Amino acid sequence: MNTAELAAQLQDLLATPQAIGLGLLAGIAGHIVKKVIQARESNAKFSLKQYVTQNPYKVLMTFFYAVAGSVGLAMNGELSVYTAIMTGFAANSLSGASD
């Protein structure tokens, strides 16, 4: 298998709904972990579980924004694993915009 064939297979793999869904979850998780790291600067015992239990509505809104953003991108032919990652990250950022 040459490099071009491998690249084509990788592109096909990254275009699957599963890869896009994982990208969306990775973006959400990345931003939540960033928030936990920031919280640990003032409270070393702060955990991911605490973030989720202390912010259930923000977590719920994150998923709502992520799905809505993904649908909008898909309707415009712009949804890819890369845009899904950034949509997930931005969705969590948007849900915390009132902080």
Q: Could you list the mean pLDDT of each consecutive 10-residue stretch along the chain, which spans 99 residues?
A: 89 90 95 92 94 92 94 94 94 79
CA distance 48 to 81: 25
Sign of CA dihedral 48, 54, 90, 77: positive
Helices and strands: H and E segment counts in the chain: 5, 0
Structural domain including 82 reads 3-95
Q: What is the pTM of this model?
A: 0.84
Sign of CA dihedral 36, 42, 47, 51: negative
Contact status, residue 89 vs residue 43, Cβ threshold 8 Å: no
Contact status, residue 70 vs residue 84, Cβ threshold 8 Å: yes
| Residue 1: per-residue pLDDT | 77
| Residue 99: per-residue pLDDT | 61
CA distance 54 to 23: 25
| Residue 95: per-residue pLDDT | 86
| Residue 65: per-residue pLDDT | 95
Contact status, residue 86 vs residue 73, Cβ threshold 8 Å: no
Domains in the chain, number: 1
